[in-house]
Amino acid sequence: MYIEIIQVVFVLFFSVVLHECAHGWVAYKLGDPTAKLAGRLTLNPIKHIDPFGTIILPVMLKLMGFLPLGWAKPVPVNFLRLRNPKRDMIFVALAGPATNIVLAVVAVQFLKLGVYPLLNEFLLTVIFINLLLAIFNLVPVPPLDGSRIVMGLLPPQIARSYAQIEPFGLLVVIILLNLGLLKFVWKVVILLAILLGVNPNNL
């Protein structure tokens, strides 16, 4: 049990670190050096740890039998410094979930090779955690990545009104979680796993 928890936390930890680095790197390439100047374009985990979101919460959820979700410290992004703020906001937002999907796809390929059978459980954890992170972060509630995509697509006036939800975003997410959001996210994760050729019974 404890080995499984350590494995889940380890995979989640580095998956969210790469997720956040991807946001900062894409923002930097599109004109915003904020994350770079803050020293956040690094894989040094110490720079990205959020004690509650990265360690405490996922361990608590796993011990309680729930899906282990968590987050790293968000990288700072100044959308106004992007070369095309409205368009580039979408690319910056997509970078994190896209990174998680790439990690899942790479793990699937190693799993299919079957070269290291002893690593199968670890690879399944990588697939499960990264698909879960990708889909959950695409939920369009501020400050999740999905909301940035929606803001980039909405007309400016409506986008500004939508952004005003952000101070209450965490509360909205908690309410949605209690209404079964995770069940919906998990169904999407299972569908993606099937499309990738992974037996969902192994997740």
Inform me whether the pLDDT recorded for 9 exceeds 90: no
Q: pLDDT tens digits for 58-101?
A: 778 777 777 777 778 889 999 999 999 999 999 999 999 999 99
Q: Give, in order, the Cα–Cα distances in Å from 107 to each of 82, 185, 198.
A: 33, 20, 11
What digits encode the pLDDT tens for the residues 152-163? 999 989 998 998
Dihedral, 62, 70, 46, 110 alpha carbons, nearest 10 = 80
User: Could you report the per-residue pLDDT of 110-140, keeping only the tens digit for each?
Assistant: 998 877 777 888 999 999 999 999 999 999 9
Tell which residue, 76, 58, 89, 74, has the closest CA to residue 151. Answer: 89
pLDDT on residue 45: 81
How many domains does the chain contain in total?
Answer: 1
pLDDT class of 149 with cuts at 50, 70, 90:
very high
10 Å CB burial of residue 36 (0-12, 13-18, 19+) is: middle
- Quick one: pLDDT at residue 1? 62
DSSP 51: I
CB 70 within 8 A of CB 45: no
Q: Quickly count: other Cβ atoms within 10 Å of residue 29's Cβ.
A: 14
- Return d(Cα 70, Cα 165) in angstroms, integer: 21
- Predicted TM-score (pTM) of the model is 0.90
Distance CA 98, CA 91 (A): 10
pLDDT band at 53 (very low <50, low <70, confident <90, very high): confident
Is 20 a catalytic site residue? yes
Q: What is the rounded distance in angstroms from the CA atom of residue 25 to the CA atom of residue 116?
A: 32
> H helices of 30-119, where?
34-37, 57-63, 85-113
**Can you give the residue range of the structural domain that contains 195?**
2-202
Nearest to 134 by CA among 105, 178, 100: 100
More confident call, 12 vs 145: 145
Shortest CA distance to 32 belongs to which of 96, 75, 62?
75
